[in-house]
Amino acid sequence: MESEPVDPLSTDDYYLATRLTQIISVDLIIHGSEREVLVGRRKNAPAKNSWFVPGGRVYKYETMEKAIERISEEELGFKLFKSNMEHVGVYDHIYPDNFVDGDHGTHYLAHGFRAFVDKSQILPEQFQKQHVELKWVSIHQLLENPEVHEYTKNYFRMSKKSY
């Protein structure tokens, strides 16, 4: 029997969860073409002000498939489906801070999923809920830019696919 996803945690409960355990998350590696990727400058900690791929946490009782649909709709303005994406692995994202204060670090187990989309599908106003701005960058630019977070770069450094 599949349970419904639990509504997002209150700020206090999520803060406590980040202190006590790892958080499961999804990162969406969105390609507009073979060699360009969508990134946004993050508004919030952790990784505040870094260029990062879109993503978010997986709620309790939410399947990975449903999380991808929800996160893509919230951040991109349309649904992506797990069946049309490539799972590129699970990555440890460990930060010295959290979304509230510097009291403790955060540990995400981030599942990276890659998709190719028509660039005109992206709705900037959706993306800007979590990001100050967004842009398409070549993989070379992404890897060379010191403002792109190392965890985003790792999706391309460790990829089995040749770019």
Query: Tens of pLDDT along 43-53?
Result: 988 999 999 99
In a domain, 119, yes or no: yes
> Number of structural domains, the chain?
1
In a domain, 111, yes or no: yes
In a domain, 117, yes or no: yes
Query: Tens of pLDDT along 7-33?
Result: 677 888 888 888 899 999 999 999 998
CATH code at position 92:
3.90.79.10
Give the range of the structural domain holding residue 103, as residue numbers without chain letter.
25-157
DSSP letters spanning 72-141: HHHHHSS---GGGSEEEEEEEEEES--SS-SSS-EEEEEEEEEEE--GGG--HHHHTTTEEEEEEEEHHH
In a domain, 4, yes or no: no
Under 8 Å between Cβ of 120 and 161: no
In a domain, 9, yes or no: no
Residues counted in the chain: 163
Which tokens go with 63?
Answer: 């399947």
Q: Model's pTM, two decimal places?
A: 0.89
